[in-house]
Amino acid sequence: MNEITMASPPLGPTAPVSEILLAGIAIRIELPPSLHWLAIERYEAIRKHIEREGSPLHDKVVWFYPQGSMAIKATIKSRRRQDGYDIDIVIELLLPVTITPAQILDLLYEAIKGEKGSIYYDMVERQTRCVTVYYADGMHLDVTPSILLDENDPRRSHIFHAKLEEPTTAHKRVVMNSWAFCEHFNRALPPDLLFEQAYAKRARDGMKVLADAEVKPVPAHSTMEGGKSAAVVGLQLLKRNRNMRYAKRVGVRMPPSVMMAKFAADCQLPTGTICGALEVISGAMLSALLAAEMRNELVDVRNPTCNEDCFTDRWPENRAAQQTYISDLKLFRQQLHALMNGALGLDEMQELLIEMFGEGPARSAVEEQARMLGRAVETGVRGIGVTGRVIPAAVIASPSIITSAMAKPRAHTFYGERWPKK
């Protein structure tokens, strides 16, 4: 297995190639800051719209906050552009506790939809637990109504489940505290400054290499906002892998992101590497699912800040669903170990990464690495490690990695014949 040593800062030139490629993929699947800011603008606009004079919820909104991936900086793009992406918002309302699930969802629906001719009139859809606002560019804003249960236990709330085609007897209240969970997650996995800086630098350098190649301006990136740790990046990659696996399973519910986030927050991650985070988080999830299987049960994962909040209340629906994700995780871990063992060539790693995270980001990250290495070789700004590894940087690493004689070998120009064209 590759090891990162003190001489090898996170994602630096001597970091394992698998680590660099995983960072490259994660950088490509994140929601860019322009879309992040747009989402914030839009949810502010929705809030004002719901609170407007004449709205059925005028003066009833207590709190309006993001939940899920946006609140823990783990939002990723969808695999296909046309699938758009979800932003999850909770709207805490001051309403009588006797209100029924269907009533509160219908009320929120009316408040957002507004009068005919209103901005959101044709963009809104009532769901089982939320109201979705669809934007023409593919963004969806899921607004989930809630009522606070106990003002001494901030944000522990009821949300409401009322499927339109189900009888009202099947409607229910569900306890949740996503606010406290996001706080817990962010406390458990604080930004790792060393990793964050290295990750942001790689994002800038990598985007510049590709932008130079394509003569395009350097795109902005979410790493500009900071706040990253290897665990959050690992979580984003695991979500991407899950989305890949489930893309062809039509009508099948996916393992919930919040369950994955809970396992990530529970893990002790001493290594500060993406590979390490993936290994530990996927291992923890697999262990929990296998343990449930051994007991002939479905996995039961709870919000550590609110035990009544069950993250797995809608998935897995049955043992088959549980077994499907167990198989996915086993495959993922096999692929991860193959990536980490150092025996694969760049082309073989590319094939694996395509299977794990999709063609676009995998090919782009590999091309970036090939370009960086090629440029380093052509310009001579590289050293040669004791095992022969080309280290694309002018820096002199530890003598255990690179000898002084190999720090900057003599310049040369590749030569040779051309194959005759027919």
Partner 1 sequence: MRTLAQQIHSMKRNWPSFETVEMNADHVVWFGDLEGIQKPYRVMVEYGLPKNLLTDPLFRQFPQVRVLSPPLRPNFEAAEEAPLPHVYFDKEDLPNSVLCLFDPRALEWSSDHFIALTTIPWTCDWLASYEGWLATGRWFAGGRHATPQVERVS
Judged by beta carbon, residue 251 or residue 416, the one nearer partner 1 is 416
Cβ-in-10-Å burial (0-12, 13-18, 19+) of 422 comes to exposed
Residue pair 53/75 in contact (Cβ under 8 Å)? The answer is no
The catalytic residue among 106, 142, 205, 266 is 142
Nearer to partner 1, 164 or 346 (CB): 346
Find the catalytic residue in 86, 192, 309, 328.
Answer: 86
d(CA 279, CA 213): 34
Q: Which lies closer to partner 1 via its Cβ, residue 18 or residue 157?
A: 18
Contacts to partner 1 by CB under 8 A: 2, 16-17, 342-350, 363, 366-367, 369-371, 373-375, 377-378, 382, 384-385, 387-390, 403, 405-406, 409-422
Cα–Cα distance measured from residue 320 to residue 326, given in angstroms and rounded to the nearest whole number: 10
Considering the complex, what minimum distance in angstroms separates the CB of residue 268 from partner 1? Answer: 28
- Closest by Cα among 257, 329, 262 to 289: 329
Q: Active site includes 86? A: yes
Q: How many CB atoms lie within 10 A of CB 405?
A: 8
Chain center to CA of 41: 21
**Nearest CB to partner 1, comparing residues 75 and 369:** 369
Pick 104 or 340: Cβ nearer partner 1 = 340
| Shortest distance (Å) from residue 279 CB to partner 1 | 18
**Phi, psi of 403, rounded to the nearest 5 degrees:** -90, 160
Complex with partner 1: residue 99 or 390, whichever CB lies closer: 390
Least distance in angstroms from the C-beta of 253 to partner 1? 36
Q: How far is the CB of 355 from partner 1 (least distance, A)?
A: 15
Q: Give the pair of three-digit tokens for residue 293.
A: 């299987």
Judged by beta carbon, residue 320 or residue 343, the one nearer partner 1 is: 343
- Among left, alpha and beta (phi > 0; psi -120 to 50; other), residue 153 is beta
- Sorted by sequence, the CB contacts under 8 Å of residue 10 that are 6+ apart come out as 4, 19, 194, 195, 198, 199, 230, 272, 273
What are the start-end ranges of the H helices in 341-386?
Answer: 346-357, 359-379
CB of 162 to partner 1, least distance (A): 51
* Closest distance to partner 1 from the beta carbon of 343 (Å): 6
As measured in angstroms, the least distance from the Cβ of 91 to partner 1 is 48
Torsion angles phi and psi, residue 413, rounded to 5:
-130, 120
Kindly give the pairing relationship between strand 85-93 and strand 61-67.
Answer: antiparallel
Q: Strands, DSSP E only, in 55-189?
A: 61-67, 85-93, 124-126, 131-134, 139-148, 157-161, 172-176
Q: Of 88, 192, 309, 328, which is the active-site residue?
A: 88
Place of tokens 């695999």: 79
Catalytic residues: 86, 88, 142
